[in-house]
Amino acid sequence: MDTFFFDLKLDQAAVFVGALALLAGFALLAAPGACRAFIPGIGRHPPTAWTLTAIDLLWVAWMVNNTSLGRFDALKPGLYLITPLCFFLVIRFVDELLGARAIGGLLLLMANPILNAARWLDTDWRFVMTVLAYLWAIAGIALTLSPYLWRRWTAPLLATDARARAVGALKLIAALGFFALARWVY
């Protein structure tokens, strides 16, 4: 059984990734100063950290609930108690740079459905999404283990308003590329 919300197709994944790039690109182009102030501080921003942590934990709980665990299937009803308890424990005891860690967890989780969708597609263009998913997984592992890397990675990209706008323009170009792949290749 697939452990994602639905049977994701690679064209849908490309549209989703393109939409994320489009939103980020427009934000960086329209309000580079606000983005420069907000993005590096995500690691210590409690509302963002708590929201992303809740998304991560709910996604993992959903995956565990829909995965065959063999003789441990009887423990699945305990997820309804364990998930909120884990959320409380995480926000209470792992609050240092929790936003960056939660982004890392989300990157790890998002790689799985993309890799599942690209697995059986018969085109070499599937490797665009596969490489992206593996880069997300590597970045997710790095952020989960070393969340201070978030500022180190974002600081050079957002050093000035002009550079933030350039990154936004590159994201818009990437979004168009993902939309093109979804429309004409996948």
Backbone angles phi, psi at 109, to 5 degrees: -70, -35
pLDDT tens by residue, 118-173: 988 889 999 999 999 999 999 999 999 999 999 999 999 999 999 999 999 999 99
**Number of C-beta neighbours around residue 76 at 10 A:** 14
Tell me the pTM: 0.88
Longest Cα–Cα distance in the chain: 57
Give the C-alpha separation, 41 to 62, whole Å. Answer: 29
Q: Which of 40, 157, 150, 154 is nearest to 101 (CA)?
A: 150
pLDDT tens by residue, 11-47: 999 999 999 999 999 999 999 999 999 999 998 899 9
As given in the structure block, the two tokens for residue 32 are 């580079």
